[in-house]
């Protein structure tokens, strides 16, 4: 897997895939910069009138339900259908899905009408996707439970929607229902900066343009984890502002050597 990740990182740098993102407005700038950092070309567009054309020329589609609107729901479903027709991979980030009927209905409709290549979320979000009731606040308010519970949720969601699922948390779990990979990279500092989840999703989007769903998901999640670790070493004691700057620095200079040195994954 390590070699595959490194190869995929190099391929994205070389191919510079166009990633169309229908994003929330909180983290849209950071996600565009993260895509540029790994060599992808971001295009952000969410107007119902133009998403069809823009998805059609993209190499991957990212759907993110933060700061959702009724019209951006329409854009997501339309873009998703075009992606399916054209064989373009789609990643869904069901941000705060439990928080409102609008978000629940949107995620439900997307899952029913669009084949999703990867879903990435925190445990509460993936629990909702798996059909398990939780009290989500958009934040991971799930009661502390075992890694086993997280794996069970991920597998359930993957099987239910016939997709690959990435649950990010203290330990990250990636599964397509059969294969299972646990990632032990990361730092709690990543939860102190808004949008690191969305940025991880964007990274997976870039990797999906050039790789398979399991490899792309593991590459995106582990890259963010490793970048967080290195950023913390460099700026952790200085504060959140410097941590975020270093995170971008490290992402823009990620390479095989750092992956080999830091990657901590476990296959099951």
| Residue 120 counted as an annotated binding residue | yes
State yes or no: residue 30 binds a second copy (CB under 8 A).
Answer: yes
Select the residue interacting with a second copy from 192, 233, 255, 260 (CB under 8 A): 192
Q: Which CB atom, from 3 or from 50, has the smaller least distance to a second copy? A: 50
Rounded to 5 degrees, φ, ψ at 114 are -130, 135
Cβ 180 to a second copy shortest distance, Å? 30
Selected range binding a second copy among 7-15, 41-49, 178-186, 216-224, rule: CB under 8 A: 41-49
| String of contacts with a second copy for each residue 223-252, x by CB under 8 A | ---------------xxxxx-xxxxxxxxx
Number of residues located near a second copy, criterion CB under 8 A: 57
Which residues does residue 175 pair with via DSSP β-bridges, in sequence order? 165, 180
Find out whether 195 is annotated in a ligand binding site: yes
Picking from 242, 221, 219, 215, the residue whose alpha carbon sits closest to that of residue 231 is 242
Which residues make up the interface to a second copy (CB under 8 A)? Answer: 18, 24-30, 32-33, 36-37, 41-47, 49-50, 53-54, 57, 66-70, 96, 99-103, 137-139, 192-195, 238-242, 244-253
């Amino acid at each position: 897997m390590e070699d595959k990740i490194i190869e995929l990182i190099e391929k994205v740098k070389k191919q510079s895939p166009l990633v169309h993102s229908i994003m929330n407005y909180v983290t849209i700038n950071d996600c565009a910069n993260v895509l540029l950092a790994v060599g992808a070309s971001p295009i952000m567009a969410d107007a119902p009138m133009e998403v069809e054309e823009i998805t059609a020329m993209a190499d991957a589609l990212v759907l993110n339900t933060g700061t959702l609107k009724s019209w951006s729901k329409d854009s997501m479903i339309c873009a998703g259908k075009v992606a399916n027709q054209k064989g373009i991979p789609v990643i869904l980030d069901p941000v705060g899905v439990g928080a409102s009927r609008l978000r629940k209905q949107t995620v439900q409709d997307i899952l029913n009408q669009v084949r999703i290549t990867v879903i990435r979320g925190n445990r509460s979000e993936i629990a909702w996707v798996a059909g398990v009731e939780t009290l989500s606040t958009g934040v991971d308010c799930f009661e502390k439970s075992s890694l086993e519970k997280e794996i069970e949720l991920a597998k359930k969601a993957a099987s239910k929607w016939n997709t690959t699922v990435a649950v990010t948390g203290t330990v990250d779990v990636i599964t397509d229902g059969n294969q299972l990979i646990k990632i032990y990279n990361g730092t709690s500092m990543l939860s102190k900066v808004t949008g690191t989840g969305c940025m991880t999703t964007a990274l997976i989007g870039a990797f999906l343009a050039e790789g398979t769903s399991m490899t792309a998901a593991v590459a995106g999640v582990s890259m963010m984890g490793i970048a967080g670790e290195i950023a913390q070493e460099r700026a952790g004691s200085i504060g959140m502002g410097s941590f975020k700057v270093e995170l971008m620095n490290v992402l823009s200079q990620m390479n095989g050597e750092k992956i080999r040195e830091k990657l901590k994954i476990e296959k099951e």
